[in-house]
Structure 1
Amino acid sequence: MIRFLLNDRLIETQEPSGQVLLDFIRYSRHLTGTKTGCREGDCGACTVLVGDWHEGRLRYQSMTSCLMPLGNAHGKHIVTVEGLNLPNTLSPVQQAMVEEGGSQCGFCTVGFIVSLTGYALSTKPATYQNGITAIDGNICRCTGYKSIERAVARICRELAERPADQAMDWLVSHRFLPPYFAQIPERLLALQAQLPVEPAEHLNGHVPVPVGGGTDLFVQRPEVMRQTAIQHLFGKPALNSIHLADDLVHIGASCTADDLLHAPLLSQLFPRLPDYLKLVSSTPIRNMGTVGGNLINASPIGDLSIWLLALDAQVVLRTGTERRTLPLRKLYRGYKTLDKAPEEVLESIMFKAPGASAKFHFEKVSKRTHLDIASVNTAMLLETSGGIITLAHVSAGGVAPVPLYLSLTSAFLVGKALTADTIRKANEVAQTEITPISDVRGAAMYKRLLFRQLFYAHFLTLFTNQPDLHQLV
């Protein structure tokens, strides 16, 4: 039995937990304001808000319901656009979109309304840039973005007086939310106190398949997943921590990209983390997609895979109470082929915390900034002493059948002087390691050139005060 709050109603259903939430909302509950668009998490027309307790407060995040398995709604508060309507009036978010001309055909408008209301519910400062970031997963095909941007600016001005605490009460009293929201914290606590750890489901006696956010599985084979017994790993506390122990950073496999973005430990170790993670899809997908899922999906261009390979990460695989540790670089045997038994579950990822002298950088090129996969992406961790490279780890995606750790290139760099000539020769080594193919994201020769430029960009970005490297430009 799956139980959750849908707007102001308690839902109890035995429908397959592998069906996507979008279909349940539209076809079982007939809430058709949530639109069926791309079914790939790409357009935002199906956006809903997902409320759950996080660090002692009720947190709402925007997510694309076309990729969210119904089982991941268990014990949460799901809000569709219908659940944001007020009696006989428009909310300030709806009013701003109307008066600023932010809607034309209206198909995408509901997603924008939901995302912007989720932003109002967040603890982020009411700034224009934060408002724009909240809708980076929503696409409008006909209105033009300037009118929507004006609506965002207006909403931010109206949120300027929102208090940091007791924001829910303020939003209800200022008509950003309907009155029933005031009772949701108490109702959700009562619901979760009654729930089992997860909805048990074994279809046809099959062993459940572990699923995190499902942001790629439900693009690739939604109908298969609907008929598959699922072990839901999303949001599980035991798999959702980020901490430092014995100089090792440990990341639980069900941590999302958004969890990485807001982890104080990672922000301290990687000051440019927001710049890197803003290149990973969009806000709704970062709220859903898990680190473990990104690694096990084994996409040759998985952003987090490339990032963690350059940190020389290790993965912990668990079967029952038994665990084994494996270097991430050895997890990938071939295209979508892993050194992992079917019954093994990825439990955590760990890597040595970079020291004070370490420098890390990530680069990605795609056809658009948000909601796109890379043509080529690459990361590098480097340590130097007295102008000599003492440690190097280089990774690249989009240039091989697997997320690639460049072992020869990394080894070549160690012990060499940090000069333009060294970097050029290192690129020559790298070109022997990569094997790009021509596809819709570019010709093989283009990808080789692109990798070279991104490889050079690592050094030019990290060592801006070294004049010799400017020869690389």
Structure 2
Amino acid sequence: MKFILNNNNIATSLSPGMPLLDFIRYQQHLMGTKTGCNEGDCGACTVLTGELKQDVLVYRTMTSCLMPLGNAHGKHIVTIEGINMLPALNPVQQAMVDNCATQCGFCTPGLVMSLAGYCLDRTPASTEGAIAAIDGNICRCTGYKSIEKAAAQVATLLTDKNEQEPALFAVERQMLPNYFSGIKDRLKCLIMTLNGELNPPAESKPRFVAGGTDLYVQQPEAIQEHPIRFLLGQELLKGITQEEGRCILGASVTVSDLLESAIMRKHFPALDNYLQLVSSTPIRNMATIAGNFVNASPIGDMTIFFLALDTTLELSDGQSTRTLPLRELYTGYKKLRKRPEEYITRCWFELPGPDTGFHFEKVSKRQHLDIASVNSAISITMAGNLIGNVRIAAGGVGPVPMLLTETAAFLKGQAPGTAMIKQACAVAQLEITPISDARGTAEYKRLLLQQLIKAHFITLFPSLQVELLL
């Protein structure tokens, strides 16, 4: 494996399944990156990952506790030591000091790295954007108002960056060290020396790993010692394209890729609102859509989103491919209609037309960094004043991500109205089998789904709002 760590070229033959956090701290002895939850929740281990995408240098924040060392291959990894500008503080660090935004300091490196990542973002700067950049960082003692003030101070330093290359802008304004200005050329040279993909021995039976955001929570020790085939860096598994009326997504497309896709944003105007409910910025930067599908969680947000779009999967065993509707992937709790040697290569769905409305809802105990108690998505195509076609997906109400087929059949051919929606909620209650767990009681989940179905119709048919809320 070869990559750049801060300003140093790294070549290592250590286990590619090792968490990047362990390599940083225990092999490179860079102790500024902290070990916290080891589940991607606290943000204390946040690093920057820079890579070339179609000759554009893109940096994203990632939680190094969930990132396999193999996913650093061919990239620029930046820790808190890599943005120091001693003997002075850099402007991000100074903003934290100026606003009394640190106490014990354990969370501070992660917060600084997230704000440094925002300095390298290509979107127009704003206080709201800077605060959103730290949505994956938890502080237990300082109080968030002072941290938000520090984020706002950083945003003011970025107001005139225009279309300039972010890394060059940050260097010119002495926000980041000078070596950042040469990283793009160094990555080009590095990529030329790489000997293809990181592949395990041909005789091994590898585990497939993409972003690792669930595998490294559930099975960290087992994954580290197992042969791995890394999917996140494969070019053939990337990209979001449109072919006539279909949207085609590579299996390693991340949630952040969805947010940045002009195709997705055009056809789903509320996409920002939907995906901000999904985990946090660093996790969205790592988590792939195919990983969410094969994780087989009954409350997978992306699974529920794409179920409502009647998505089709393409699976490969390395020799041949086959297609499978997403709705047929699940055979039971955490059980898939997929062979161990198969992996998803891409998926596609029909883009919604002008007569189709789409809406996604999620209820969880906190806004960020939480799994759903219940989530739901709906796609409705109108034929005049009547519902021509409808799909409702729901999570958290059964052992697998569910399509409420009987509820959809009841709705089809009817005109949206209060009585019809209440009856549809009653039909949905007969389809679901929620259980009581840490996310809520079975009765609570039944009530949530009923309310989410109403929320779908209130959003897509605003005239129903007053009646449904009574």
Per the normalisation by structure 1, the TM-score is 0.97
Deviations 1:272-296 (A, max 9, x none): 0111000010000000000000000
Matches within 5 A, 1:85-104: 85-104=84-103
Query: What letter is aligned with 1:188?
Result: L
Which residue does the alignment assign to 1:221? Answer: 219
Query: What letter is aligned with 1:439?
Result: D
Alignment equivalent of 1:286, drawn from 275, 284, 296: 284
Q: Which runs of 5+ in 2 are unaligned?
A: none
Deviations 1:394-428 (A, max 9, x none): 00000111111111111111112211111111111
Deviation of 1:201 (Å): 2.7
Alignment equivalent of 1:358, drawn from 356, 359, 362: 356
Query: What letter is aligned with 2:463?
Result: N
Q: Tell which deviates more after alignment, 167-176 or 359-368.
A: 167-176
Which residue does the alignment assign to 2:35? Answer: 36
Which residue does the alignment assign to 2:107? Answer: 108
Which residue does the alignment assign to 1:138? Answer: 137
Q: Does structure 1 residue 256 correspond to structure 2 residue 268? A: no
Deviation of 1:244 (Å): 1.5
Which residue does the alignment assign to 2:468? Answer: 471
Q: How many percent of aligned residue pairs carry the same amino acid?
A: 52
Is contact 2:197-2:234 (8 Å) kept? no
Q: Secondary structure at the match of 1:149?
A: helix
Matches within 5 A, 1:304-383: 304-383=302-381
Deviations 1:67-96 (A, max 9, x none): 000000000000000000013111000001
Which residue does the alignment assign to 1:433? Answer: 431
Query: What letter is aligned with 2:347?
Result: I
Alignment equivalent of 2:384, drawn from 373, 383, 386: 386
d(CA) in 2 for partners of 1:332 and 1:388? 31
d(CA) in 2 for partners of 1:371 and 1:127? 22
Deviation of 1:200 (Å): 2.8
d(CA) in 1 for partners of 2:37 and 2:86? 31
Which residue does the alignment assign to 1:73? Answer: 72
d(CA) in 1 for partners of 2:100 and 2:107? 13
d(CA) in 1 for partners of 2:245 and 2:169? 43
Is contact 1:317-1:325 (8 Å) kept? yes
Which residue does the alignment assign to 1:424? Answer: 422
Is contact 1:126-1:160 (8 Å) kept? yes
Deviations 1:133-156 (A, max 9, x none): 110000100000111111111111
Is contact 1:235-1:255 (8 Å) kept? no
Deviation of 1:180 (Å): 1.4
Which residue does the alignment assign to 1:409? Answer: 407
Query: What letter is aligned with 2:86?
Result: P
Per the normalisation by structure 2, the TM-score is 0.98
Which residue does the alignment assign to 1:21? Answer: 20
Q: Tell which deviates more after alignment, 299-308 or 342-351.
A: 342-351
Q: Tell which deviates more after alignment, 414-423 or 108-117.
A: 414-423
d(CA) in 2 for partners of 1:299 and 1:254? 18
Q: Secondary structure at the match of 1:117?
A: helix
d(CA) in 2 for partners of 1:412 and 1:223? 48
Is contact 1:420-1:472 (8 Å) kept? no
d(CA) in 1 for partners of 2:313 and 2:169? 44
Q: Secondary structure at the match of 2:135?
A: coil
Is contact 2:380-2:387 (8 Å) kept? yes
Is contact 1:460-1:470 (8 Å) kept? no
Deviations 1:244-268 (A, max 9, x none): 2242211110000000011111111
Is contact 1:20-1:67 (8 Å) kept? yes
Deviation of 1:466 (Å): 4.3
d(CA) in 1 for partners of 2:166 and 2:305? 36
Query: What letter is aligned with 1:331?
Result: L
Q: Secondary structure at the match of 1:287?
A: helix
Matches within 5 A, 1:225-236: 225-236=223-234
Is contact 1:20-1:69 (8 Å) kept? yes
Deviation of 1:315 (Å): 0.8
Is contact 2:454-2:468 (8 Å) kept? no
Q: Secondary structure at the match of 2:327?
A: helix
Is contact 2:124-2:162 (8 Å) kept? no
d(CA) in 2 for partners of 1:31 and 1:419? 61
Q: Secondary structure at the match of 2:463?
A: coil
d(CA) in 2 for partners of 1:306 and 1:7? 38
d(CA) in 2 for partners of 1:466 and 1:447? 23
Which residue does the alignment assign to 1:152? Answer: 151
Q: Tell which deviates more after alignment, 396-405 or 153-162.
A: 153-162
Across the aligned residues of Structure 1 and Structure 2, the Cα RMSD in angstroms comes to 1.2
Deviation of 1:163 (Å): 3.6
Is contact 2:317-2:342 (8 Å) kept? yes
Q: Secondary structure at the match of 2:291?
A: helix
d(CA) in 1 for partners of 2:411 and 2:469? 16
Which residue does the alignment assign to 2:126? Answer: 127
Q: Does structure 1 residue 189 correspond to structure 2 residue 180? A: no
d(CA) in 1 for partners of 2:196 and 2:295? 25
d(CA) in 1 for partners of 2:166 and 2:445? 48
Is contact 2:237-2:345 (8 Å) kept? yes
Alignment equivalent of 1:270, drawn from 268, 271, 274: 268
Q: Spell out structure 1 runs of 4+ moving beyond 6 A.
A: none
Q: Secondary structure at the match of 1:453?
A: helix
Query: What letter is aligned with 2:122?
Result: T
d(CA) in 2 for partners of 1:163 and 1:383? 41
d(CA) in 1 for partners of 2:340 and 2:188? 36
Q: Tell which deviates more after alignment, 411-420 or 135-144.
A: 411-420
Alignment equivalent of 2:293, drawn from 295, 300, 306: 295
Query: What letter is aligned with 1:293?
Result: G
d(CA) in 2 for partners of 1:271 and 1:196? 41
Query: What letter is aligned with 1:143?
Result: T
Q: Secondary structure at the match of 1:75?
A: coil
